[in-house]
Structure 1
Amino acid sequence: MFSYKTLFASTLAAVLALAAAAPAKPSPDVPATIEIGSGNCPTGGVTVPVVSDACINLIGGLSFLDKEISGAIVPGGFVCTFFQDFGCIATGTGNAPTNSEVVLVGGTWHMSNVPGLSGPINFNDLTSSISCSPV
């Protein structure tokens, strides 16, 4: 004769097996990070959390990277703008010169050859602030 305990135990085992096999979804509360460094990333870089559309000035604990960034890793699905001036000041605003920022999408970048507003440029050791957002 069939037992309800056996049915319950079998059903519970099947549910637990499916739950263990299901991939975990990333939490939407986990902040995105970029890696920036004075050498070639991914080695020797610093991981910096980013908040969408917030300006990250390279001051305080990040001041050692001001005008020293040579490489960056931008996560997939994000776009980050690297600015020459503090305050994420873009070309054509304030006293910002032409080509005072570069816009980088997900990937590993060497700042000596990145896409500028008017073609590839050398943005090595020029960054003072960064702003990132989802694509």
Structure 2
Amino acid sequence: MRGKPTETRARGLAYAAVRETWEEAGLLFGRARLEDAPDLSGLTLFMRAITPPGRTRRYDSRFFVADAENLSNIDQPHHDGGGELLTLSWLTLDEIASLDLPLITIDALKRLKPFLDQGRLPPQDCAASFQYYRGKTWVEDEISPAP
């Protein structure tokens, strides 16, 4: 977030993640119907990364994690052909390793793997990794959870 972090801004980012999950994957997070307000309590900010300068496309990405039990239509995702995905597939981390993914996505999954190997997700009060360039140096900070 630019400026002072606030609960309102954090909630806005979480809502954006839920909206993108619906728009791009057809999955309803934290609600039974699309018109219901989502319950964001199962969503955890895990990582943030800003694409290095000079790239054709730059992103300021937030990576959220949540238990799949928060998806009400996990077995029947909505797909109208308008999203970025042609099909939705559930893969293991080992299966994902063979895909051509952006390096930052691979890094996020590597950071998540130790938690999943223990059969859990990161706790909601964990610090999130924040990666970005400062000048010519790749910096990794932490975003502390709200008190």
**How does the TM-score come out when normalised to structure 2?**
0.23
Q: Which has the higher helix share?
A: 2
The structure with the largest strand share of the pair is: 1
